[in-house]
Chains A and B, each alone.
Chain A
Amino acid sequence: MYGNDFGQPGATDSRAGAPPHPLNAAETPDYTDALAEYFDGLIEQDQRVEPRDAMPEAYRTTLIRQMAQHAHSEIIGMQPEANWITRAPSLRRKAILMAKVQDEAGHGLYLYSAAETLGVDRSELLDKLHSGRQKYSSIFNYPTLTWADAGAIGWLVDGAAIMNQVPLCRCSYGPYARAMIRVCKEESFHQRQGFEILWVLARGTKEQKAMAQDAANRWWWPALQMFGPPDTGEHASTGHTAQSMAWGIKRFSNDDLRQKFVDMTVPQAQKLGITLPDPDLAWNEERGHWDFGAIDWDEFWRVLKGDGPCNEQRIRTRVEAHDEGAWVREAADAYAAKQAARHEQGAVA
Chain B
Amino acid sequence: MTEQHHVDYLLGLGDDALIYAQRLGEWLTHAPQIEEDMALGNVALDLVGQARALLTHAGEVEGADPVRDEDDLAMLRHEREFRNVQLVEQPRGDFAHEMARLLWFSTYQRELYTAVLTSTDETLAGVAAKAVKEVDYHRDHATQWVLRLGDGTQESHDRMQAALVAVHPYVAELGEDHDAARWAAEHRVGVLPSSLTDAVNAYVVGVLEQATLAMPDAPRWHARGGRAGVHSEVMGYLLAEMQHLHRSHPGASW
A residues sitting closer than 8 Å to B (CB atoms) are 75, 78-79, 82, 85-95, 98-99, 101-102, 105-106, 108-109, 147, 197, 200, 204-205, 207-208, 317-318, 320-321, 324-335, 338
Q: Which residues of B contact A335 (CB under 8 A)?
A: 147-148, 151-152
Cβ-based interface call for B209 (8 A):
no
Cβ-based interface call for B32 (8 A):
yes
B32 touching A78, Cβ below 8 Å: no
B249 touching A205, Cβ below 8 Å: yes
A271 to B63, CA, bound (A): 39
A87 touching B149, Cβ below 8 Å: no
Known: A330-B152, A335-B147. A78 touches B37 (CB 8 A): yes
A330 touching B37, Cβ below 8 Å: no
Q: Which of B67-75, B107-115, B181-189, B215-223 contacts A (4 or more CB under 8 A)?
A: B67-75
Q: Which residues of A contact B244 (CB under 8 A)?
A: 87
B31 touching A325, Cβ below 8 Å: yes
21 contacts between A and B (CB under 8 A): A89-B252, A90-B71, A94-B21, A94-B25, A98-B41, A101-B29, A102-B37, A102-B45, A327-B155, A327-B159, A328-B33, A328-B95, A328-B156, A329-B33, A330-B152, A330-B153, A331-B156, A332-B148, A333-B152, A334-B152, A335-B147
A86 touching B38, Cβ below 8 Å: no
Cβ-based interface call for B164 (8 A):
no
How far, in Å, is A285 (CB) from chain B's closest CB?
A: 39
Contact partner of A105 among B34, B149, B241, CB < 8 A?
Answer: B34
Contact partner of B71 among A91, A102, A109, A327, CB < 8 A?
Answer: A91
Q: Which residues of A contact B21 (CB under 8 A)?
A: 94
A325 to B52, CA, bound (A): 32
Q: Which residues of A contact B28 (CB under 8 A)?
A: 78, 82, 85, 98, 101-102, 105
A99 touching B45, Cβ below 8 Å: yes
A200 touching B156, Cβ below 8 Å: no
B153 touching A95, Cβ below 8 Å: no
A326 to B155, CA, bound (A): 11
Known: A98-B25, A147-B245. A109 touches B35 (CB 8 A): yes
Q: Which residues of B contact A326 (CB under 8 A)?
A: 32
Cβ-based interface call for B246 (8 A):
yes
A333 to B151, CA, bound (A): 11
Q: Which residues of B contact A204 (CB under 8 A)?
A: 249, 252-253
Query: 20 extra interchain contacts, Cβ-Cβ under 8 A, other than A82-B28, A204-B252, A325-B95?
Result: A78-B28, A79-B29, A87-B242, A89-B245, A90-B246, A102-B45, A105-B38, A106-B38, A147-B245, A197-B254, A204-B253, A208-B252, A317-B30, A321-B32, A324-B30, A324-B95, A328-B32, A331-B148, A332-B152, A333-B152
A82 to B41, CA, bound (A): 11
Contact string, B203-232, partner A, CB cutoff 8 A, digits 1/0?
A: 000000000000000000000000000000
B residues sitting closer than 8 Å to A (CB atoms) are 18, 21-22, 25-26, 28-38, 41-42, 44-45, 48-49, 51-52, 55, 70-71, 74-75, 94-95, 147-149, 151-153, 155-156, 159, 241-242, 244-246, 249, 251-254
How far, in Å, is A128 (CB) from chain B's closest CB?
A: 15
B33 touching A325, Cβ below 8 Å: yes
What is the predominant secondary structure among interface residues of chain A facing chain B? helix
A322 to B229, CA, bound (A): 37
A321 to B48, CA, bound (A): 24
Q: Which residues of A contact B25 (CB under 8 A)?
A: 85-86, 94, 98
A91 to B21, CA, bound (A): 11
A91 touching B74, Cβ below 8 Å: yes
How far, in Å, is A154 (CB) from chain B's closest CB?
A: 14
Among A87, A197, A317, find the residue whose CB has the most chain B CB atoms closer than 10 A: A87
How far, in Å, is B241 (CB) from chain A's closest CB?
A: 5
How far, in Å, is A94 (CB) from chain B's closest CB?
A: 6
Q: Which 9 A-B residue pairings sit nearest by Cβ, starting from the closest?
A: A325-B32, A331-B152, A331-B156, A102-B41, A328-B32, A89-B254, A335-B148, A85-B25, A105-B37
Known: A95-B49, A105-B38. A90 touches B75 (CB 8 A): yes
A85 to B155, CA, bound (A): 32
How far, in Å, is A110 (CB) from chain B's closest CB?
A: 11
Among B49, B147, B153, find the residue whose CB has the most chain A CB atoms closer than 10 A: B153
